[in-house]
Amino acid sequence: MCLNGWCPNLKLRYSLGKKAQKNTQVIDELLQKGKDYARVYNIKTPLKVRSPSTELFKDFESRKSTIQNVLNALKNDDINMIALWGMAGVGKTKMAKEIKRIVESDNLFHKVAITVVSQNPNFIKIQGELAESLGTRLQAEFLHGRANELYSILTETKKVLLILDDVWKPLDIEDIGVYQAIKEKSCKILLTTRNEETCNGKSIRPKIFPVELLSEEEAWNLFKEMVGDYINASDLISIAEQVAKECARLPLAIAVVGSALRNKSDKNEWKAVLQQLKMSMLENIFDLQAKVYSSIGFSYNYLESNEAKSCFLLCCLYPEDYDVPVEHLVRYGVAKRFFNGLDTVEETRVHVCAIVQNLRRSNLLLDGNKAECVKMHDVVRDVVISIASKEENGFMVNLDKGLKDWPPMDRSYDSYTAISLLLREMKGHPIELKCPKLQLLRLSCLNHSKTFPYNFFNGMKELKMLSMQEGCFSLTLLPPSIQIFQNLQMLNLQSCRLGDVSAIGTLGNLEILGFPNSDIEELQSEIGNLSRLKLLDMKGCDSLKRIAAGVLSGLSRLEELYVGRFRNWACKTTMEGNGEVTNDNASLAELIPYSSQLVVLEISVPSILCLQKELHFSNSNFRFKIKIGADFYDSTAGRYFFENTLKLGGEDASDLREHQTICSLVKNAVVLHFDIAKNSKHIWFGKEQKGINLPYCLEDLKICRCENLEYLLEATSNSTPPNTFHRLVSVSLNNLPRLIGICNSTESIEVERGGSTTSKTIAHKLFSSDTILWVPKLGSLNVEGCRSLEVIFDLEGLEVKENPKPFLAELSNLHLWDLSGMAHVWKNISPGFQGFKNLISIDILRCHSLNCLAIENFYLKHKILISSLQLSQIPIQNIINNLTFS
Across the range 111-129, mean pLDDT stands at 84
Query: What whole-number distance in Å separates Cα of residue 744 and Cα of residue 719?
Result: 12
14: how many CB neighbours lie within 10 A of its CB?
10
Residue with the larger pLDDT of the pair 292 and 351: 351
Across the range 174-190, mean pLDDT stands at 85
861: how many CB neighbours lie within 10 A of its CB?
11
What confidence score (pLDDT) does residue 125 get? 81
Q: How many CA atoms lie within 13 A of 753 on its CB side?
A: 6
- Checking phi first, is residue 781 left (phi over 0); if not, alpha (psi -120 to 50) or beta? beta
Across the range 474-488, mean pLDDT stands at 75
Say whether 870 sits in a helix, a strand or coil.
strand
Q: Is it the case that residue 2 has pLDDT exceeding 70?
A: no
Q: Is it the case that residue 746 has pLDDT exceeding 60?
A: no
Pair 559, 584: CB distance under 8 Å: no
Q: Is it the case that residue 701 has pLDDT exceeding 80?
A: yes
Pair 57, 95: CB distance under 8 Å: yes
Express each pLDDT in 618-638 by its tens digit: 888 899 999 998 778 888 888
Pair 697, 669: CB distance under 8 Å: yes
Query: What whole-number distance in Å separates Cα of residue 330 and Cα of residue 348?
Result: 6
Helix axis angle for 326-336 and 345-361, nearest 10°, is 120
Q: Is it the case that residue 42 has pLDDT exceeding 50?
A: no
Q: Of 49, 52, 116, 47, nearest to 259 (Cα)?
A: 52
Across the range 643-654, mean pLDDT stands at 83
What confidence score (pLDDT) does residue 55 get? 43
Report phi then psi at 187, rounded to 5.
Answer: -150, 165
Say whether 815 sits in a helix, a strand or coil.
strand
Residue with the larger pLDDT of the pair 101 and 55: 101
Lowest mean pLDDT of 22-26, 53-57, 290-294, name the range. Answer: 53-57
pLDDT tier at 520 (50, 70, 90 boundaries)?
very high
Pair 112, 161: CB distance under 8 Å: yes
Q: Is it the case that residue 285 has pLDDT exceeding 70?
A: no
pLDDT tier at 716 (50, 70, 90 boundaries)?
low
Report phi then psi at 223, rounded to 5.
Answer: -60, -45
Express each pLDDT in 832-860 by its tens digit: 677 777 787 888 888 888 876 655 444 43
What confidence score (pLDDT) does residue 56 get? 45
Q: Is it the case that residue 449 has pLDDT exceeding 60?
A: no
Q: Is it the case that residue 37 has pLDDT exceeding 50?
A: no
Query: What whole-number distance in Å separates Cα of residue 323 and Cα of residue 315?
Result: 9
Say whether 491 sits in a helix, a strand or coil.
strand
pLDDT tier at 283 (50, 70, 90 boundaries)?
low
Query: What whole-number distance in Å separates Cα of residue 277 and Cα of residue 246?
Result: 7
pLDDT tier at 49 (50, 70, 90 boundaries)?
very low
Does the predicted model carry a pTM greater than 0.85?
A: no
Q: What is the mean pLDDT of the chain?
A: 78
CB neighbour list of residue 21: distance below 8 Å, 6 or more residues apart: none
Q: Of 664, 666, 691, 696, nearest to 680 (Cα)?
A: 691
Report the DSSP beta bridge partners of residue 367.
Answer: 374
Q: Is it the case that residue 573 has pLDDT exceeding 60?
A: no
Query: What whole-number distance in Å separates Cα of residue 632 and Cα of residue 655?
Result: 21
Across the range 284-311, mean pLDDT stands at 75
Pair 528, 564: CB distance under 8 Å: no
Element (H, E) at 674: strand 671-678
Query: What whole-number distance in Å separates Cα of residue 172 and Cα of residue 188?
Result: 14
Across the range 707-733, mean pLDDT stands at 75
How many residues can be counted in the chain?
886
- What is the pairing mode between strands 373-375 and 366-367? antiparallel
Q: Is it the case that residue 779 has pLDDT exceeding 50?
A: yes
What confidence score (pLDDT) does residue 575 get? 44
Element (H, E) at 374: strand 373-375
Residue with the larger pLDDT of the pair 407 and 125: 125
pLDDT tier at 412 (50, 70, 90 boundaries)?
low
pLDDT tier at 398 (50, 70, 90 boundaries)?
very low
| CA Rg value for the chain | 35
Express each pLDDT in 331-353 by its tens digit: 999 988 877 777 789 999 999 99
Pair 336, 464: CB distance under 8 Å: yes
- What is the pairing mode between strands 490-494 and 522-523? unpaired
What angle (nearest 5°) sits at the alpha carbon of residue 301, between those of residues 296 and 306?
135
CA distances from 832 to 151, 294, 368, 776 (A): 49, 62, 45, 19
pLDDT tier at 532 (50, 70, 90 boundaries)?
very high
pLDDT tier at 656 (50, 70, 90 boundaries)?
confident
Give me the helices (H) in 140-249, please.
143-157, 173-176, 179-183, 216-227, 237-246
What angle (nearest 5°) sits at the alpha carbon of residue 858, between those of residues 853 and 859?
75
Across the range 464-477, mean pLDDT stands at 72
- What is the pairing mode between strands 756-761 and 748-753? antiparallel
What confidence score (pLDDT) does residue 377 get? 83
What confidence score (pLDDT) does residue 443 get? 83
Query: What whole-number distance in Å separates Cα of residue 214 and Cα of residue 205?
Result: 27
Lowest mean pLDDT of 268-277, 408-417, 555-564, name the range. Answer: 408-417
Residue with the larger pLDDT of the pair 109 and 474: 109
Residue with the larger pLDDT of the pair 206 and 862: 206
What confidence score (pLDDT) does residue 1 get? 40
pLDDT tier at 142 (50, 70, 90 boundaries)?
very low
Beta strands in 379-417 (DSSP E): 396-403
Element (H, E) at 824: strand 824-827
